[in-house]
Amino acid sequence: MRACAQCASRLDSSRADASYCSSRCRSIAWRTRRTDAVHALLTRQAEITRSRLSALLADDAHAVAEADRLLDEIDHRAAELFGARS
């Protein structure tokens, strides 16, 4: 039995069997789900933090602008770590 096209394109013909394919694909799927979950958690935490900071600092426009800048930096770093995800 042959590996899926995605796995077969990365393997030499001696290793392109279905058992390797399913194991490799399961591993990739698990890592992708884990990465997506961490990204979602970081995104949600940034939203909560932005909301809380805005509420706490509503009187100080400069502090709010600085907090937004810092949170945008967090968003940028998360995007660098996890790539563009929606």
Each residue's pLDDT expressed in tens, for the chain with a length of 86 residues: 455 666 666 665 555 565 666 777 777 777 888 888 888 888 888 888 888 877 777 767 777 788 788 888 888 888 888 775 54
CB–CB of 85/36 below 8 Å?
Answer: yes
Q: What pLDDT score does 42 carry?
A: 86
Q: What pLDDT score does 46 carry?
A: 86
Tokens encoding 49:
């933090």
Q: What pLDDT score does 30 carry?
A: 78
Q: What pLDDT score does 28 carry?
A: 76
**Residue owning tokens 């937004």:** 68
- Please give the model's pTM, rounded to 2 decimal places: 0.45
Helices 18-56 & 61-82 angle (0-180, nearest 10): 180
